[in-house]
């Protein structure tokens, strides 16, 4: 097997996009302390034009992460509090009859925004949850036969509590598959929590947070991300990982082709964030768990043994051959 080939020539604005992306991440870290990996994943979601599901216990900063990202990128921000009585039209919008004009007028819903926070998404009924499907995949909403485009950039960040199941409706696989990444923040360390307390002693730091890029600048970064080079060997490597999820004995449902595309786009963004205009296998490995853990269904027998989807993915990364490893081994031997 040959080593991974990297392109020659211009970086296509990747260096400048890297600087702008780091500005966004650094700005968010003024509010979200000690969670650098989670912040990077949120930025990667934005660069990929993808959507992010944040699953964690209450009070660890899920909503603040979404608000900080929106403010840093100077994007319009709407928050939807998902509850059992929320209706699809509360999300997409509704046509209202105007008695003066004698015509129906469309009153757009909160989904027509650049960054949308679907807070506690699993508290709404499946009918209401499905109102997000069209906008997340096709970046448009259709109301009474009329289609309305969402603005650019467009991103949905959803939150859910992994331990509270009473009164909730688990997201179906079709909706989980539309999230590019799943993020978990986790509890801070003692030192990080002391810094959080000190940081909010007189006011919340998000109140003073200023934008560091424009919404148009975000679109430019997204376009630069798509120009990051991915070698044929790396493409085959990431597809091999996806294929391995479909034949693993502990997985009852493997990742879909949308998972391959998500891993491909995410690896491009990871490479850009690391200052490169080409993707390495390490970028693919770093994104495998956040991209795939919510896309696979662990078999019942494996769940009984306490096997988690992330454990399976980590095992697959050890089993699937890495491009160039054989050639490097021969060269070193």
pLDDT digit string (tens) for the chain, length 333 residues: 445 444 443 455 788 888 999 999 999 999 999 899 999 999 999 999 999 999 888 888 889 999 999 999 999 999 999 999 999 989 998 888 778 887 878 888 899 999 999 999 989 888 888 888 888 989 988 887 888 899 999 999 999 887 766 768 888 888 888 999 999 888 989 998 999 898 888 888 898 899 999 999 999 999 999 999 999 999 999 999 999 999 888 888 888 899 999 999 999 999 999 999 899 999 999 999 999 999 988 888 888 888 888 888 999 999 899 887 543 333 344
**The whole model's pTM is what?**
0.86
Q: Does 33 map to a domain?
A: yes
CATH number of the domain enclosing 189: 3.40.50.300
Q: Does 295 map to a domain?
A: yes
Q: Does 6 map to a domain?
A: no
What does the buried/exposed string (b/e) look like for 114-143 if buried means 16 or more CB atoms within 10 Å of the residue's CB? bbbbbbbbbbbeeebbebbebbbeeeebeb
Report how far residue 160's alpha carbon sits from residue 127's, in angstroms, rounded to the nearest whole number.
17
Q: Does 81 map to a domain?
A: yes
The number of domains in the chain is 1
Q: Does 162 map to a domain?
A: yes
Q: Does 222 map to a domain?
A: yes
* Domain enclosing residue 110, as ranges: 14-332
Report how far residue 198's alpha carbon sits from residue 195's, in angstroms, rounded to the nearest whole number.
5
* pLDDT for the residue 230: 92
Q: Does 24 map to a domain?
A: yes
* pLDDT for the residue 162: 77
Q: Does 1 map to a domain?
A: no
Report how far residue 60's alpha carbon sits from residue 221's, in angstroms, rounded to the nearest whole number.
29
């Amino acid at each position: 097997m040959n080593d991974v080939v990297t392109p020659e020539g211009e970086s296509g604005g990747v260096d400048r996009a890297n600087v702008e992306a780091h500005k966004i991440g650094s700005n968010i870290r003024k509010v979200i302390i000690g969670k650098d990996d989670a912040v990077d994943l949120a930025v990667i979601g934005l660069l990929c034009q993808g959507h992010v599901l944040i699953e964690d216990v209450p009070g660890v900063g899920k909503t603040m992460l979404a608000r900080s990202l929106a403010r840093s990128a100077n994007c319009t921000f709407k928050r939807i509090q998902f509850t059992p009585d929320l209706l699809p039209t509360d999300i997409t919008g509704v046509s209202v009859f105007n008695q003066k004009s004698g015509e129906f007028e469309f009153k757009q819903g909160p989904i027509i925004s650049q960054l949308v926070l679907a807070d506690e998404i699993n508290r709404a009924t499946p009918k209401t949850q499905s109102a997000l499907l069209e906008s997340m995949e096709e970046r448009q909403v259709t109301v009474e036969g009329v289609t309305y485009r969402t603005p650019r950039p467009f991103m949905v960040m959803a939150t859910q509590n992994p331990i509270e199941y009473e009164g909730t409706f688990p997201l179906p696989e079709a909706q989980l598959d539309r999230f590019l990444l799943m993020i978990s923040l986790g509890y801070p360390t003692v030192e990080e929590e002391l810094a959080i307390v000190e940081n909010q002693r007189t006011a919340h730091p998000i109140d003073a947070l200023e934008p560091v890029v424009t919404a148009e600048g975000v679109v430019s970064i997204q376009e630069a991300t798509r120009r990051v080079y991915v070698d044929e060997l790396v493409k085959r490597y990431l597809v091999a990982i996806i294929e391995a999820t479909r034949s693993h004995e502990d997985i009852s449902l493997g990742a879909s082709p949308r998972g391959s595309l998500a891993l491909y786009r995410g690896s491009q963004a990871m490479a850009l964030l690391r200052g490169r205009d080409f993707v390495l296998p390490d970028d693919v490995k770093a994104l495998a768990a956040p991209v795939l853990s919510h896309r696979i269904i662990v078999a019942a027998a494996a769940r009984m043994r306490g096997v988690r989807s992330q454990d399976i993915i980590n095992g697959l990364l050890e089993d699937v051959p890495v491009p160039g490893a054989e050639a490097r081994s021969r060269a070193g031997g």
